[in-house]
Amino acid sequence: MTDKIKVATTSLAGCFGCHMSILDIDEKLIDLVELVEFDRSPINDIKQVGECDLGIIEGAVANSENVEVLREFRRQCKVLVAIGACALNGGIPAMRNHFSLAECLQESYVNGIGLDKPKIPTDPELPGLLNKVHPVQEVVKVDYSLPGCPPTAESIWELLTALLEGRQPQLGPEIIRYD
């Protein structure tokens, strides 16, 4: 029997749509369970990432907690994969980069329609927002990237099986998309 690979996944500033694309591999999910063992991921309650063969990162880097989690994934995972437009180029979260952080906070918490007692949150428990949203590779080294919003299930499957088989993933145009 093939040894299982240990996989951790996380969503930084993302919408979990890329995670949903993993579920789109449909009946291959049964094969996936045979091939991988999950460390930290949305499907369990593990809070800290442990030593893993593969780390999968969805979402951009928008706050101090995102930076911390991402660096921990880089430390613990032999191979780190950034999936989806948000992770690769900042995607939708990076649309706020057209404005200053102060302008974004003012618009969201003070000028927003229908707000009750408008006030910018100052709770120290909240992770501090970065001045700009960053793609993952601006913060840590990334080994593989899968574009798309979200990437296709086929490209995710090819990446996982290639890493398991110890070969380079064949990520051709028929399974990669950029929208």
Distance, CA of 121 to CA of 170 (rounded, Å)? 46
Number of CB atoms found within 10 A of residue 142's CB: 20
Distance, CA of 34 to CA of 32 (rounded, Å)? 5
Among positions 7, 39, 41, 58, the unique one binding ligand SF4 when judged by CB under 6 A: 58
CA angle at 130 for the pair 10 and 85, rounded to the nearest 5°: 45
Binding of residue 84 to ligand SF4 (CB under 6 A): yes
CB of 169 to ligand SF4, least distance (A): 19
Q: How far is CA 163 from CA 107, 111, 159, 173, in A?
A: 44, 48, 6, 19
Q: What binding mask, one character per residue, do residues 92-111 give for ligand SF4 by CB under 6 A, x or -?
A: x-------------------
Among positions 77, 85, 159, 163, the unique one binding ligand SF4 when judged by CB under 6 A: 85
Tokens 């910018």 map to which residue? 120
Q: What binding mask, one character per residue, do residues 113-152 give for ligand SF4 by CB under 6 A, x or -?
A: ------------------------------------xx--
CB of 152 to ligand SF4, least distance (A): 12
Among positions 6, 9, 14, 70, the unique one binding ligand SF4 when judged by CB under 6 A: 14
Instruction: Name the DSSP class of 138.
Output: G
Distance, CA of 62 to CA of 134 (rounded, Å)? 7
Question: In terms of CB distance, is 4 or 130 closer to ligand SF4?
Answer: 130
Residues binding ligand SF4 (CB under 6 A): 14-15, 17-18, 58-59, 84-86, 91-92, 149-150
